[in-house]
Amino acid sequence: MQFFMPAQNLAKVLVATSNDLATPTIFNTIRPINMRFFLRPQASCQYLAPLDGVRAIAVMLVITFHAYFFLQYGMAEMSNFIEFSNSLPAVLSWVRRGDLGVDLFFVLSAFLIGSQLFCENYQTDHICLKRFYLKRFLRIYPIYLFALGIHVASKGWDPALLGNIFAFNNLVNLENIIIPWSWSLSVEIQFYAVFPLLILALTRTSQAVFFAAIVILFSLTWTSYFYFTNPVLQTQSVIDVIANKDKATQIYYMQYLYVSPAVRAPAFIFGAAAAWLWNNKREACTSYYQRHKKLFLIGSIAAIAIMAVISSVNIYQPKTTMSTVQNTLYTLNMLFGRTLFALLAAGLLLVVLIPKQQVSFPSRLLSSKWLFPIARGSYSMYLFHPIFLFAAFALLFGEQKINQVSLTQLFALAGLGILFSFVFSIFTYYLIEKWFTFSRIAHFIDSKKSTVDA
């Protein structure tokens, strides 16, 4: 269970830390808790409730996927895991592709950030870069540094920390990633670093469209090149590479075909494009929707069907057992799957948000109040969930490796992982995130300035 080791170490330190802390101190800290974590903001033109549902679904998809994927490290033989994976019924094939939840995160992140920046640029004819970068820093780094601090407390100083702190751990040797699943934070930070600059530089729509097309073409070319030039990946699937313990090919696949910003860029492009349409062409989109409702309905059904097909492709099936059709779908998925999934997700996002005379069922579902707390805690849940999956695995199966697992046990593992990480996200919100909001820091700076001026 080597992959569990980072989570296991973090779990041990958290337990030790909690034993050392005086209980009254903790409760004194959280005693004044209000219900802000559970109460979503009032409806407004800036706040879009359905997006909370998308974020909540995305994080639950990722945790469920990791519950499934981590099973291989707790099973006695890899063949046991492959047998279980292939036994999943068709309606649960999405479990194997829950990592697409990360692509949903990227689309959603680009949409939200794009909406803010496009709106600011339209209203003021500029973007306050200092404000933007400070807000992003305060959103990402306090809890991320807390997670890295736990690692330092458990294993001591690591020179690789610098690459992890400054968000280029997905561009160098992946063995130096201290928190393996934090690669996605690096991709997001890299996007945040360049996106506002691109908005300021690409002042004409034609320039932006041309740039977006070049980025998408480059991404597809990059993926095709690194897939077809690796002879191992032509004859082996992802699970074959893992089962054969081919570490070099594993790192190659992850480095060039999974965590690279070149591979993930289209998701941000499509999310940003949806944000531009939402902010600049909302009335036109609404008018077009009202005139072509049936077309939108057919298109939405087709998009969902295609996304379902992408989600059903089993990349964890040995290539020797694949039929010709399965092998073709596998290759197409490796080349175009994520890009197409992100494009369709961005399109459906717009369809859900477009103002209608009557709120649609998908919009009502995604706006459910019970999804909001999960959405609010999603960042912390994503960052710490492997720790709690490890704890849940130990709770369900003990320390011994297992030979088989049932669907009930899989979803119990995923459910406990979601529950434990959600509860932990409440603590991190009140103990960490709440104290590092932009408004709080800005107020602190203003108060210091007033003191100096006086």
DSSP letters, 219-270, are: HHHHHHHHHHT-HHHHH--HHHHHHTT-HHHHHHHHHHHTS-HHHHHHHHHH
Cut 0.85: pTM above it:
yes
pLDDT tens digit sequence for 186-219: 999 999 999 999 999 998 999 999 999 999 999 9
At 44, the amino acid letter reads S
Backbone CA torsion sign across 241, 243, 247, 253: positive
DSSP character at residue 402? B
Distance between CA 83 and CA 88 in Å, rounded?
A: 9
pLDDT tens digit sequence for 11-54: 554 444 444 443 344 444 444 456 777 777 665 556 788 999 99
312 contact partners, CB below 8 Å, separation of at least 6: 90, 93, 94, 97
**Burial (Cβ within 10 Å: 0-12, 13-18, ≥19) of residue 302:** exposed
**Residues above pLDDT 70, as percent of the chain:** 87
pLDDT tens digit sequence for 145-175: 999 988 888 877 777 788 788 888 788 778 7
**What would the 3-class secondary structure string for 137-153 be?**
HHHHHHHHHHHHHHHHH
Minimal CA–CA distance to 431: which of 386, 385, 377, 387?
377
Helix, strand or coil, per DSSP, at residue 77: coil
Window from 116-130, 155-169, 270-284, 411-425 with minimum mean pLDDT: 155-169
Distance between CA 424 and CA 294 in Å, rounded?
A: 44
